[in-house]
Amino acid sequence: MSILATASTTRVTWANVSDGFSVASRAGDYVGCVESTPDGHFVGFDFRSTPVGRYATLAEAQRSVGAAHGKRPVLDAPPHSPRAEAMWQTAATLTGAVALGVLATAVLTTPIV
């Protein structure tokens, strides 16, 4: 299930990373970017690097990126129970141990040339 996150009240800050490429953030959260094209237009990209549109001015592109960020989907996952957390931690530990065993076997059985 996903919900739409509400836009933060903090304003979007833009940083010019290089000529024709600007990156936006809001309270440390990546918002998106705007890139200029050789023909003088500007393409806005959201936080997933999906194009949100092509614009004649930098200001229009920046507004569209900020608006797209306000509508970003946020996963609303229920918290795991302590029992489920313990199960997942055990499974991850066992998986790591098996991977380490496979690596050790591969190293010890590789002939030295």
Beta strands in the chain, from DSSP E residues, in sequence order? 2-4, 13-18, 21-26, 29-36, 42-45, 51-55, 73-75
Domain boundaries, the chain: 2-75, 80-113
Task: For residue range 12-66, list pLDDT tens digits in order.
Answer: 899 999 999 999 998 888 999 999 999 999 999 998 899 999 999 999 999 999 8
Report the candidate in 34, 56, 60, 58 with the shortest Cα–Cα distance to residue 47. 34
Report the candidate in 79, 65, 84, 69 with the shortest Cα–Cα distance to residue 22. 65
Task: For residue range 62-103, list pLDDT tens digits in order.
Answer: 999 988 876 655 555 566 788 988 999 999 999 999 999 999
Which own/partner contact pairs does 100-106 have at CB distance under 8 Å and 24+ positions apart? Answer: none
pTM summary value: 0.55
